[in-house]
Amino acid sequence: MPDELTKLLSDLKETEALELVKKALAEGVDPMGLLGEARDGITIVGERFASGDYFIPDLIYSGEILKEIVKLLEPHFGGEKGKQEKRLGPVIIGTVAGDIHDIGKDLVVFMLDISGYEVVDLGIDVPVQKFVDAIKETGSKVVGLSGFLTLAFDSMKETVDAIKNAGLRDDIKIMVGGGQIDDQVKRYTGADAYGKDAMQAVKLTQGWIGG
Amino acid sequence: MEKKWEEMSADEKQEAQFQKMLAPKDPEGNDIKFQSPEAEAAYKANINRFKAAVQLKAADRVPVMLFPGMYPLAYGGITLKDAMYDYDKCVAAHRKFVLDFQPDMQFGAAGPGPGKFYEKLDYKLYAWPGHGVDPEGRSYQCREAEYMQAYEYDLLLTDPSFFFRNFYLPRVFGALEPLQMLAPMTSILEMYGVAFNFIPYGLPPVQGAFKALFEAGEEALKWAMAVGGFDIEMKAAGVPNILGGFTKAPFDTLGDTLRGTKGILMDMYRQPDKLLAALDAVTPIMIGMGLGAAQQTGNPLIFMPLHKGADGFLSDEQFKTFYWPSLKKVIEGLVEGGCIPFCAAEGGYNTRLEDIRNLPKGKTVWMIDQSDMVKAKEIVGDTLCLLGNMPSSLLHLGNPEDVKAYAKNLIDTVGKGGGFIMCNGSFFDHAKPENIKAMVDYTKEYGVY
């Protein structure tokens, strides 16, 4: 049954999914095929999250199950590991300077990843210059700024200003989100858009660079 | 003859607590001397106005509070670091904030906490200015991690205090690492062999940990004198404190600083029975924490910041299974004990309103961050007192006219008939002073019933 792993993962059946992978590997099933099935399962999880059937814990749990599956598959990959489907992007994501919150940012990274984007995750408390450098290095067209505290308003504005001063602003779309961020903060920072949740980040990215 | 506390109904207990608040005392039990008859009248009016709102009634006008994060420090011209290492400066900034803006009640000066205390114990759970965040930074921030491992539920369930002393504290306080060497208290049973249990106290590392504890205790006391003095001073000036203590929703207790967000979310799937058992075990501890604080401070208002119950964070089923039942028990336990739980519904609570409405009527205050206030009033307005909702973004980036328009709408809709307190909806470290002033002054002027 080719779709069994996809179904188990999308239904968040961790024990059954891992058992299935172990059994399949013992029977000599192609690990790349299993990885593809698992990824399809994650895509379904993303769709269910988008439609409001799944919530944040489901999303995080599916990622954890995928990690466990990859752990089982990895020793069987051989030389194929580098082979990956072509991805859109990259999208640069980071929590702005002064703020060390990562949960919201990680959700955005995860959702973009499973939606087919290459994501450059700069981490937390990211200095302004690091965003500018990352744009130059990767040629990215989309940047997402995350922040939880009110100090993020100014850090976001400084980051957008620095991108502008580096002469990169016209070629790039910037989205902001997290905690107390709203449309008013978006206007203040000079970003292009505000996203209320991780799904919004995906929709905005799709609108800007397709996918 | 006066009724005994345990014979009183919840209404009678609440009334007794308000009467106690109306006659404020210092820590020695002496009456606080008001600065003037006007200050005394203002103090009493502020409490009675608040009491009416809690009981879902309208007094003379809509009460107005300010519950800032670290903003009073910036307003007073000092950094968080200044406030953490110089308690007088911390108090001076909070004094200026309260006296300049004149909210009905104030939130104390305990927010920044004692820097030297954290240093003495090598506190690892938070980053603070100069210790993990920018020395000029405006707030401290939590370092989330799994300070309790997924396999440690049985340890916690068997003896929470042993788990905290020997496992949790050594992980979050570097100076308390040697406490992991201590024997369980419960092994101390009879004469034969009893001394074995005390050997660790003779070892240099353990003695070092106790020395650090004594020093940290002295620092905590110094700090408490300063912030306690501020409360007395504010009361004498006519401004009561709205914080009598603090406790948490059991799910947040386990999820914030023990298992961590990801840890507890995974436990819902991987070991739901253990998690439910731990929530049950923590519930009476959280009730006791609130009741104990209220007894200590003589103030029944017990603040509960709610973190992981927000819209979208848990599914409805998860909220109803893991978050709400134990939280509801804590709230009811506090009310039964004569306290007024003051819950901060951080984030959105739009999908939780039908659940939270089933609480004792007129006994709790709910700080609302981003929920739809009109809908909230409609669904929970006949049981819960609503406080808040002025957005942090508006206070920081808007202008006084925007703030007044927002306040007007709140007063016209949510304020109708009482049961509403004007306040910011979430803690803020940044704002424009003219916006705060507009919120307070406009509420006092337009919010008249």
In whole angstroms, give the CA distance from residue B256 to residue B253.
Answer: 6
Average model confidence (pLDDT) for chain A?
Answer: 90
A contacts of B138 (beta carbons < 8 Å): 149, 151
Chain A residues with at least one Cβ partner in B under 8 Å: 12, 14, 54-58, 60-61, 64, 98-103, 125, 149-151, 153-154, 179-182, 184-185, 187-188, 197
How many residues are there in chain A? 211
Residues ≥6 apart with Cβ < 8 Å to B11: none
Structure tokens given for A108: 């955005």
Best mutation site among A149, A153, A181 for testing chain B: the one with the most B CBs within 10 Å?
Answer: A149
pLDDT at A1: 46
Contacts of B143 in chain A (CB under 8 A): 100
* B393 Cβ under 8 Å from any chain A Cβ: yes
B313–chain A Cβ distance below 8 A for any pair: yes
In a domain, B168, yes or no: no
Enumerate residues 6+ apart whose C-beta is below 8 A from B156: B148, B163, B258, B278, B281
* List of chain A residues whose C-beta atoms are within 8 Å of the C-beta of residue B314: 55-57
Q: Which of B69, B127, B429 lies nearest to residue A100, judging by beta carbons?
A: B127
- List the single residue in B139, B391, B397 with the smallest CB-CB distance to A149: B139
Q: Are B397 and B374 in contact (CB under 8 A)?
A: no
User: At B305, which amino acid appears?
Assistant: P
CA distance B267 to B265: 5
Substitution target from B81, B392, B401, B406 for chain A, most A beta carbons within 10 A: B392
Question: Which residues in chain A are contacts of B315 at CB distance < 8 A?
Answer: 54-55, 57-58
Backbone angles phi, psi at B79, to 5 degrees: -90, 165
Q: What tens-digit pLDDT sequence spans chain B (449 residues)? A: 578 888 999 899 999 999 999 999 988 889 999 999 999 999 999 999 999 999 999 999 999 999 999 999 999 999 999 999 999 999 999 999 999 999 999 999 999 999 999 999 999 999 999 998 888 888 898 999 999 999 999 999 999 999 999 999 999 999 999 999 999 999 999 999 999 999 999 999 999 999 999 999 999 999 999 999 999 999 999 999 999 999 999 999 999 999 999 999 999 999 999 999 999 999 999 999 999 999 999 999 999 999 999 988 899 999 999 999 999 999 999 999 999 999 999 989 999 999 999 999 999 999 999 899 999 999 999 999 999 999 998 999 999 999 999 999 999 999 999 999 999 999 888 999 999 999 999 999 999 99
In this prediction, residue B344 carries a pLDDT of 96
Residue B37: other Cβ atoms inside 10 A: 8
CB contact under 8 A, A180 and B391: yes
B397 and A184 in contact by Cβ < 8 A? yes
- The reply to whether residue B426 touches residue A98, judged by beta carbons under 8 angstroms, is no
The amino acid at A90: P
Q: Closest-CA residue in chain B for A51?
A: B312
Long-range contacts of B196-204 (CB under 8 A, 24+ apart): B203/B178
Note the residue count of chain B: 449
Residue A2 pLDDT > 70: no
Nearest residue, CB atoms, A64 vs list B261, B266, B426: B266
Give residue-wise pLDDT tens across range B407-447: 999 999 999 999 999 999 998 889 999 999 999 999 999 99
Q: Is residue B118 part of a domain?
A: no
| Binary contact (A55, B312; C-beta < 8 A) | yes
- Nearest residue of chain B to residue A183 (CA atoms): B393
Is B430 in Cβ contact with A150 (below 8 Å)?
A: yes
pLDDT single digits (tens) B177-194:
999 999 999 999 999 999
Q: Is B384 helix (H, G, I), strand (E, B) or coil?
A: coil
Instruction: Indicate whether A80 pLDDT > 70.
Output: no
Task: Round to whole Å and give the CA distance between B216 and B165.
Answer: 16
Distance (Å, whole) CA B78 – CA B102 = 20
Instruction: Enumerate the β-bridge partners of residue A194.
Output: A176
pLDDT-derived band of residue A197, with 50, 70 and 90 as boundaries? confident
Model pLDDT for residues A145-158, shown as the tens digit of each residue: 999 888 889 999 99
Q: Answer for the pair B257, B142: CB distance below 8 angstroms, yes or no.
A: yes
Q: Which residue has the tokens 């759970």?
A: B125
SS (H, E, C) B104-165: CEECCCCCCCCHHHHHHCCECCEEEECEEECCCCCCCEECCCCCCCHHHHHHHHHCHHHHHH
Query: A177 Cβ partners below 8 Å, 6+ apart?
Result: A104, A108, A144, A145, A146, A194, A195, A196, A197, A200, A201
Q: Are B69 and B424 in contact (CB under 8 A)?
A: no
Pick from A57, A100, A188: which is nearest to B265 by CB?
Answer: A57
The whole-angstrom separation of Cα A68 and Cα A66 is 5
Task: Answer whether B83's CB lies under 8 Å from B93's CB.
Answer: yes
Q: What is the ipTM of this complex?
A: 0.86
Which CATH number does the domain housing residue B255 bear?
Answer: 3.20.20.210
Alpha-carbon distances, residue A67 vs A14, A50, B446 (angstroms)? 11, 22, 57
Put simply, whether B220 touches A (Cβ < 8 Å) is: no
In terms of C-beta density within 10 A (0-12 exposed, 13-18 middle, 19 or more buried), how is residue B164 classed? middle
Assigned domain for B156 exists: no
- What pLDDT is stored for residue A85 in this prediction? 65
For range A65-69, the mean pLDDT: 92
Do the domain assignments include residue B228? no
Domain-embedded: residue B273: yes
B315 touches chain A (CB under 8 A): yes
B152 part of a folded domain = no
- A83 pLDDT tier (thresholds 50, 70, 90): low
Q: How far is CA A42 from CA A1, A36, A111, in A?
A: 18, 10, 10
Q: In Å, what is the CA distance from B225 to each residue of B76, B78, B221?
A: 21, 20, 6
> How far does Cα B300 stand from its chain's mean position?
12
Return the residue of B nearest to A106 by Cα.
Answer: B262
Cα B48 to Cα A176, B57, B158: the distances in Å are 43, 11, 45
Q: Rounded to 5 degrees, what angle do the CA atoms A92, B369, B234 make?
A: 120
| Beta carbons of B312 and A56 less than 8 Å apart | yes
Give the H or E element holding residue B386: strand B385-390
Residue by residue, DSSP assigns A65-81 as HHHHHHHHHGGG-GGGG
Residue range A16-50, pLDDT digits in tens: 999 999 999 999 999 889 988 998 998 899 889 88
Q: In whole angstroms, what is the distance from residue B184 CA to residue B356 CA? A: 40
CB contact under 8 A, A151 and B138: yes
Q: What domains lie within chain A, and their CATH numbers?
A: 4-82 (1.10.1240.10), 88-209 (3.40.50.280)
B residues 126-185 near A, CB within 8 Å? 127, 132-134, 137-139, 141, 143-144
- Residues of chain A in contact with residue B270, where contact means CB-CB under 8 angstroms, are 14
Write down the residue that tokens 């006994």 correspond to: B363
Q: Answer whether A135's CB lies under 8 Å from A66's CB.
A: no
Distance between B411 CA and the closest CA of chain A, angstroms: 22
Q: Check: CB of residue B124 under 8 Å from CB of residue B174.
A: yes
> What is the C-alpha separation between B188 and B185, in angstroms, rounded?
6
Within its chain, how far is the Cα of A104 from the centroid? 10
What was the pLDDT predicted at A84?
59
Going by C-alpha positions, the residue among B391, B392, B397 that lies closest to residue B372 is B391
| Alpha carbon separation from B30 to B232, B242, B243, B293 (Å, rounded) | 11, 20, 20, 19
Question: Least CB-CB distance to A197: which of B127, B132, B312?
Answer: B312
* Total domain count, chain B: 1
Q: Quote the minimal CA–CA distance from B396 to chain A in Å.
A: 8
| Boundaries of domain holding B48 | 5-112+237-446
User: Which residues make Cβ contacts (< 8 Å) with residue A124, sequence separation at least 6?
Assistant: A94, A95, A99, A100, A101, A102, A105
**Test the A interface: residue of B397, B403, B427 with most A CBs within 10 Å:** B397
DSSP β-ladder status, B126-129 and B141-142: antiparallel
**What are the backbone angles phi and psi of residue B240, rounded to the nearest 5°?**
-75, 160
Q: Is B113 on the interface with A (CB under 8 A)?
A: no
The position carrying tokens 């858009």 is A193
State the count of interchain CB pairs (< 8 A) between A and B. Answer: 83
Q: With an 8 Å Cβ cutoff, are A98 and B398 in contact?
A: no
Residue B415: helix, strand or coil by DSSP? coil
